[in-house]
Structure 1
């Protein structure tokens, strides 16, 4: 009886939770099928599904426990941001460059100001206006990428700038969420408080990223042979939630922690695998999040605020387009590409929902703001494909209608953009010094804080407790203090600058500043553990130790740095190894054969043998004693004792081996060890587009050989030399590593 009663009570408790989840997923499933059929964004389907399952729609079963849905929505935000971090990678941000950064930042600044004043004009209050400005400034990555795929414009030049701008927008949106949280909690706009929040954010982001890259890839690598897919998924989610807890404990949003952990894992070799495993979890909770957003759509509110919805929709469409176009022009893009970029970014989406959720959770925004933003997002989602299509016609129209003087000025500014972007030797040296000072200072401060919080309490009260704590802290800090004070930085730039009397003084000042900063940190640490007099004596002793053992400190620091860089570059190194291992594209591989003295092929040129035409193989090199002939020409002859390396598929190589056997050639097959490598190049605006492979003179210019082409998903191994090269082709070229570098720099 007791068991039955307990079971009944549990069932009654779980019933709303299970029935609500079932209703949400069932409605979302139907909406997904319908919107997939009519080729509309799935996010829009989820919003409508949420509206149908919400309490504001009477002709459909409604969710009973709204609080549980809100919890799932929070989890959905965490997994959405974690997945975004997995796709992000800090290296990707560094490769984006100034063009996309200027475009995104200009757009965000203008739209935040425009959105704020729009809210003020509608008398919505200061806090609503601030949140509105931020919500209207972030474009939708999901909607834009889907639109580009459907319209087939992803390979066009402006699309690269748009995608880069979206990456920058995402990271800026994370930063703005932190600042909004600070403003919401303090309810004031103190510049000092905001500056402290930014510095705090930079400090923790740096520590989390450096610590994460140092330890997490090593953990995943060491345990790789033990991990199943299930364990990898559990570990990935555990790491994500651990960072969520850390972020929450220091006063940041859980979403920030999830994003940071995703970006850390993005630098590991397991990134793609983890992204694949997490995707179903992200899709599930992401759907719940978007459905929960749709549940907040109140038709009565939308009717009441129909005019603000219409106004804000126009603000987004025109404001985003114009501000992004202005940003692209500032960055040095031509007028046409700037207009295309601007019109592609003319919508708001998932980040606007997350920011709206933040305002609602902190109870600093009004209830009407959420459904209004959702409605604006829905309308701009529909208009996005049309805006992308109109980008080119509008650009052509503006080029015709704008004063000729303006158009020429835009062209001149764009042409001179590269000159603007040049960086002087002094700037490079100064940037390197500042980077080293900031990074090592952050690491030193973090270790001191950890030591004060965790090591000092353990030894408190013992006779030599403070001495032990200070010693442990200094030992941990010693390599970083050495690097901060004495490590040589930007050696070539500093040597060049030192020859110029103008820069000798500033360089010497930077060197002394680093040493003084190191001394300050040592004194600060010792002062925390000892009285001032004892600290001074300990400082002198510490300096003696540092001067006596500089090589050991240097070796220790370089060991730590190598480990960090190895983890940081592990993904790229792994890809490079894989490329070398699978040197030829797709199903092709390399094999070597020895030419027998009795072969009837000796003395013939490669053109006479017609090996490519007969069997589809290419000859990568001929080794003749100590002489290596890389990518031999068609006039090269075969001689007895030559060792030749061919590239082809399994079938082609077997056919060639049989052909050689018939001509009395010894054929011991093995994998070649050589400096010959195969690299790929995507044709964008290269000079040989529209020419045949032979006319492109790739062989003559780089001593390389085109052994494969990928075009619109179709692959051609060992293509004919008369094949015309087209924009978007991916060329696979085999040749000497050093000589090939010239082709791939273009």
Structure 2
């Protein structure tokens, strides 16, 4: 018998245990993550009744790959545009909750006598909630159409990106052990700079490449390419000084903006599921029951902090963002659990060797408890709100609702706001590109020219020509590109109040641009003469070729914008329609706050009883107080449908109303027309023939009036008459003696014909 490596034996063991656990937990309707963790415990070193994994180091390597693929997949589902569309309410809620629970987690850890790093990582573990558990609980509770659910989804999106950033900061702290404010600010600036740079470069290059290589990309090649891009960004992130997880997440979010995103998700799903299962199973292998018993008290405190701390902080955050008290309470009670990121953060701490092993049993214990409490908290959030209203003074409730109405008032963007936002976009994006070109020049161009060009003057000219030549489009945009044209024009025409500040802004950014050019030339030459000569020459060249430079920049900008929006406009109309409807729905959502209403999209069931009836006849607005604002039918959009419009199967209907109105309306919208006994099996639907004779009493009747459809719950598909066959006869066809009717219907009902 040949030798079998331990790795293969270990994989067979953990995947077998994971397979059994997933089946059991699926049957119990519990999160599969907990099933994987229990499976890992059963094959781990702390449970001796079953075979144990022999080579844990190889499994840990697979687990690290699993984390990378999990975060890559999370990036594919994320997209930076989602973060932009989340809105202020979800963002404020998320930041209040994350800051509170992270700080509270740190202090609870220190109060329990834990080390500084253990306490910091505890705060990071508590910072995110579980998207999987919340989605499952929402489905079971039937609250996905309620307004607070959309806020919860937005908070989860913000949490994902903030927790990724927290992981980077925690890993930096763990390595440097530097807790100074200046060091932390530099780390945050460095992180944001590289995030923005990778996003700008990725969106400019990757969609164009994928579009041109589309015909060459089969599922196999796309899988290999996407994994190569993921791992390539992982390597780049670690070289720059960040975590591998950040690199995987960033590459996923870049691919998410391309038209290949869905396909990449599909081809990657099996790989992600495999390595994800190995990761969560490896987490379970680290569970020590003795440690859980020993640390039962910390598990209790962390669980209580998660339940009440998250409930309190999320509710406060939602109130500060302008949500009514009822929605704030519902949001708070939905978020009170530990997410899957807790295990990833705990793994990060262990892999860096800066945290204690007891963090795992604490995380698993608290996660298990909060997983089971979440559905009940969501279910009883509304009754708890009514209990709270009775408990609080009426003045407090009135002030909270008044604050909510005031913060959600609708205000139009002023011209100054639009112009300043446009200026900020121009300066920040082009500034990031220029700074990256400076770094590339110092890191690669200068060493290359010093090695290969001996003449100092020639080397200086080559350095200046190449580096400033590449930077010229972005220097022009930084110093001369006009902001939002219409708003800028409106402000400029008002000479008395606006021209002065606008001139100050223009002069200021030109001065900063010239200062940047001066430093650039100095870095290249390190002499004052070079600055005196080089800066004016650079300015003159940019002025002489300004039109060409501007045209080049416009082409670069147009490609970036096209790539950024490519996914939304894909599909030759259908994708554009979906994107347009989604954007319009989001715009309406952001404006409906003051009226305590929101918009949901519902799909017409093909068996709905109201299909084909005019909206005026249905009288839904009068009966339920809701409004239908659009009907999306394939690639057509009916905007603000009138009373004569009818609903057809699979129409996507946009409905506006309050939570209570939508709750009353949804059962009516989802109701289906009875199509006969529910216990009819497919095998009972048969094709049979019936003879027109004195027993069936069908002679002289046409098909419409014969009652065959009603009597057999079927349809006539053909008639044999005098040796001829009539396929799909018209409903007015009159039946004659000895006609043979071919029917598709219920076996028992067809057999009853002629016996009545």
TM-score range, shorter chain: 0.7 to 0.9
- Aligned partner of 1:485 in structure 2 is 479
Q: How many residues align?
A: 622
Q: Is 1:288 aligned to residue 181 of structure 2?
A: no
- Aligned partner of 2:508 in structure 1 is 513
Q: Is 1:256 aligned to residue 246 of structure 2?
A: yes
Q: Give the Cα separation in 2 of the matches to 1:158 and 1:715.
A: 28
Does the CA-based 8 Å contact 2:631-2:637 persist in structure 1?
no
Q: Is 1:131 aligned to residue 93 of structure 2?
A: no
Which digits, 9 at most, give the CA deviation of each residue in 1:337-374, with x for residues without a partner?
Answer: 11110111000121111111111111111111122112
Q: Give the Cα separation in 1 of the matches to 2:341 and 2:568.
A: 30
Does the CA-based 8 Å contact 2:76-2:255 persist in structure 1?
yes
- Aligned partner of 2:489 in structure 1 is 495
Distance 1:681 1:202, change over 3 A: closer
Cα RMSD of the aligned pairs, angstroms, is 3.0
| Residue from 550, 553, 556 that aligns with 1:557 | 553
Mark the structure with the bigger radius of gyration.
Answer: 2
5+ residue gaps in structure 2?
A: 590-600, 643-652, 657-756
Q: Give the Cα separation in 2 of the matches to 1:17 and 1:579.
A: 46
Shift of 1:506: 2.9
Q: Give the Cα separation in 1 of the matches to 2:581 and 2:487.
A: 34
Which digits, 9 at most, give the CA deviation of each residue in 1:467-498, with x for residues without a partner?
Answer: 11220111111110000000101233333344
Shift of 1:521: 2.0
- Aligned partner of 2:613 in structure 1 is 720
Does the CA-based 8 Å contact 2:229-2:251 persist in structure 1?
yes
- Aligned partner of 1:386 in structure 2 is 376
Q: Is 1:450 aligned to residue 440 of structure 2?
A: yes
Does the CA-based 8 Å contact 2:568-2:576 persist in structure 1?
no
User: Mapping of 1:293-372 within 5 angstroms?
Assistant: 293-372=283-362
Q: Is 1:275 aligned to residue 265 of structure 2?
A: yes
Does the CA-based 8 Å contact 2:570-2:576 persist in structure 1?
no
Q: Give the Cα separation in 2 of the matches to 1:202 and 1:741.
A: 46
Q: Give the Cα separation in 2 of the matches to 1:389 and 1:685.
A: 28
Q: Give the Cα separation in 1 of the matches to 2:405 and 2:413.
A: 17
- Aligned partner of 1:655 in structure 2 is none
Shift of 1:503: 4.2
- Aligned partner of 1:373 in structure 2 is 363
Which digits, 9 at most, give the CA deviation of each residue in 1:629-648, with x for residues without a partner?
Answer: xxxxxxxxxxxxxxxxxxxx
Distance 1:63 1:512, change over 3 A: same
Shift of 1:427: 3.3
Which digits, 9 at most, give the CA deviation of each residue in 1:207-241, with x for residues without a partner?
Answer: 10000001111111001011111011111111111
Does the CA-based 8 Å contact 1:359-1:365 persist in structure 2?
yes
Shift of 1:424: 4.2
Does the CA-based 8 Å contact 1:683-1:731 persist in structure 2?
no
Does the CA-based 8 Å contact 1:467-1:529 persist in structure 2?
no
Q: Is 1:528 aligned to residue 523 of structure 2?
A: yes
Distance 1:120 1:576, change over 3 A: farther
Shift of 1:714: 6.3
Q: Give the Cα separation in 1 of the matches to 2:383 and 2:79.
A: 35
Q: Give the Cα separation in 1 of the matches to 2:335 and 2:128.
A: 9
- Aligned partner of 2:632 in structure 1 is 732
Which digits, 9 at most, give the CA deviation of each residue in 1:505-546, with x for residues without a partner?
Answer: 332221111111211222222222223202321211111111
Q: Which SS does the other structure have where 1:419 is aligned?
A: coil
- Aligned partner of 2:233 in structure 1 is 243
Distance 1:683 1:480, change over 3 A: closer
Distance 1:712 1:242, change over 3 A: farther
Q: Give the Cα separation in 1 of the matches to 2:173 and 2:566.
A: 39
Q: Give the Cα separation in 2 of the matches to 1:715 and 1:489.
A: 52
- Aligned partner of 1:66 in structure 2 is 56
Does the CA-based 8 Å contact 1:678-1:733 persist in structure 2?
no
Shift of 1:172: 0.4
Shift of 1:434: 2.2
Shift of 1:396: 1.7
Q: Give the Cα separation in 2 of the matches to 1:31 and 1:292.
A: 14
